[in-house]
Amino acid sequence: MSEGISQPDKPETLEGESRDLFSKFDDLIAMREGLLASGQEDPFNLVMEKVLSPTRAICNGRDTILLGTYNYMGMTFDPDVVEAGKQALEDFGSGTTGSRVLNGTYQGHKECEDALREFYAMDHAMVFSTGYQANLGIISTIAGKGDYIVLDIDSHASIWDGCAMGKAEVVPFKHNDLEAMEKRLRRIPEGAGKLVVLEGVYSMLGDIAPLKEMVAVAKKYGAMVLVDEAHSMGFIGEHGRGVCEQAGVIDDVDFIIGTFSKSVGTVGGFCVSNHPKFEILRLVCRPYVFTASLPPSVVATAATSIRKLMHGSNKRAHLWENSKRLHGGLKDLGFELGTEEPQSAIVAVIMPDLERGAAMWEALLKEGLYVNLARPPATPANMTLLRCSLCAEHSEEEVETILGMFKRAGKAVGII
C-alpha cells in the first residue's frame, strides 16, 4: 500500500481555467482543501524541527512523542551507528557519485552486504539505494512478459510498481486468503514462470501473513517465492530475520526483500537469496544499475546497525511488551483495532471516517503525540487509520502516557 501523498505547496486552481495534464488531480486537490479549510493542521506536511531521540522530536513547535516512524529498534541514535557514519563520512566523503556497477562500489558497500549475508545466513545479498527500488528492481527483472505473478491485494506500492514494470501477468488474491491464492496458482497455464509475492507484516493493519501454509502451497505449484520483510526485520523471529523465520520457512523462500529505513534506522533496500545464479541480477536489474549507490556514511551506519541487531534479543522482548501493552490498552479504552491480537510492532486504530480520523490525528498532535494518518485510497477497504508503530526505546511509562493521550483525544473527538 502506498503512503499518504503530500503536496507541500498548496496548488491554486483558478475558476474557468482550461483543462491540462493536472486536471486529473482536481478531486484530490478539492478533498485536501476541504480538510484544511476545517481548520486542520496539515497531516501530510508536518515538519520535525528537532529530533531529540528515536522516540521524541519537536514537531510544529511542540515536544512530541513519536509513535509513527517505523523506527522499531531505535537504532537512529545508537552511538556506535552514529560513530560509524561519521568515520565513513570522514574517510570516504559525502557520496559515491556513481552506480554500483561503475565507480559506486566502495569497501563499505561490500561490508554492508557481508553483514546482511551473515544476518540472514544466506549466500547472496544485494544492496539497493532504497527499499522501493529493491522491490521494483527484483520483481520487474525476474518476472517478465509471459510469466505470472500471484500477489496479495494489499501489497505495498513498490511491489505493484515492480509488477507493472516487468510486464508479467498480474494475478492478485484476497488479503491473506490461502484458498484464493491456491486457486489462482492452480489455473496458471502449464510451463509458465510463476512468482508468488507476499509480505511478512502488512503495514496498514499490522497483521502477519500465514507464511507457513502459503509458502508450502507456492512450492507445491512450483512457484518461486519472494517475501517482503520490511516491517519485521530486526524484531520478529529468534534472530530478527522476520516472519519467515518465525514460521520456520526461511529455507523455502527464494528471495527476501528488506529495507534499511525501518529497524536498521537509515535508508536503503536489499534482497537476500540462496539462488545459485543470483549475482547475475547485478548486471540486468535496471533500478540497481541506473542509479547512484548509497553514500559511504549510509552503508557504514547500516552495516553497524545490522550487526548490532543480530544481538538485539533484549530489545526485541521489550518491543513485544510495548506492542502488547499498547494494543491491550487501546482495546480496553474502546478503540477498534486492525487486529484482534498484537501481531507486530504496528497497532492500527480504525477511525469511523476521514473527518473524525483527521480530527483525532490533530487532537493527538496537540497532546504531543505523532502517529501516521493513513487514508483512502492507500488503505484496504477505504478505511481511515491512525497507525501506531512502536519502538524498542519507548519506555513503559511512555506507553502509559500515550494511552492517556489517546483516552483524552478520543473522548474530545467523540470516538470513544
Partner 1 sequence: MDRPETDQTIRRLIDPFNKKGVEITEATTFAGDLEFDSLTVMDFVAAIEDEFDVIISMNQQAEIETYGQLVGAVHKLQADR
State the nearest-atom distance from the C-beta of 136 to partner 1, in Å: 17
User: According to the binding rule CB under 8 A, does residue 157 interact with partner 1?
Assistant: no
User: According to the binding rule CB under 8 A, does residue 148 interact with partner 1?
Assistant: yes
State the nearest-atom distance from the C-beta of 270 to partner 1, in Å: 27
Contact in structure between 225 and 233 (CB atoms under 8 Å): no
User: According to the binding rule CB under 8 A, does residue 144 interact with partner 1?
Assistant: no
If the CB atoms of residues 86 and 187 are measured against partner 1, the closer one turns out to be: 187
CA 66 vs. chain centroid, Å, equals: 16
Contact in structure between 207 and 214 (CB atoms under 8 Å): no
Which residue from 86, 117, 174, 411 is in contact with partner 1, where contact means CB under 8 A? 174
Q: What is the CA radius of gyration of the chain?
A: 22
If the CB atoms of residues 98 and 380 are measured against partner 1, the closer one turns out to be: 380
How far, in Å, CA of 85 to CA of 298, rounded? 6
**346-405 positions binding partner 1, by CB under 8 A:** 377, 380-382
Q: Residue 103 has which C-alpha cell?
A: 565507480
State the nearest-atom distance from the C-beta of 155 to partner 1, in Å: 12
State the nearest-atom distance from the C-beta of 282 to partner 1, in Å: 28
Contact in structure between 72 and 262 (CB atoms under 8 Å): yes
Which 3 state secondary structure label does DSSP give 225?
strand
| CB-count burial class (<10 Å; 0-12, 13-18, 19+) for 267 | middle
State the nearest-atom distance from the C-beta of 169 to partner 1, in Å: 4
Q: Residue 13 has which C-alpha cell?
A: 486552481
User: According to the binding rule CB under 8 A, does residue 153 interact with partner 1?
Assistant: yes
How far, in Å, CA of 294 to CA of 106, rounded? 10
Triad 112, 115, 119: Cα angle to 5°: 140
Which 3 state secondary structure label does DSSP give 149?
strand
If the CB atoms of residues 5 and 47 are measured against partner 1, the closer one turns out to be: 5
User: According to the binding rule CB under 8 A, does residue 180 interact with partner 1?
Assistant: yes
State the nearest-atom distance from the C-beta of 189 to partner 1, in Å: 8
Which residue from 43, 68, 131, 172 is in contact with partner 1, where contact means CB under 8 A? 172
State the nearest-atom distance from the C-beta of 168 to partner 1, in Å: 8
Q: What is the DSSP letter of 345?
A: S
Cα distance from N-terminal residue to C-terminal residue, the chain: 28
Q: Kindly determine how many residues on this chain lie close enough to bind partner 1 according to the rule CB under 8 A.
A: 18
**181-240 positions binding partner 1, by CB under 8 A:** 183-184, 187-188
Q: Which residues bind partner 1 (CB under 8 A)?
A: 148, 153, 167, 169-174, 180, 183-184, 187-188, 377, 380-382
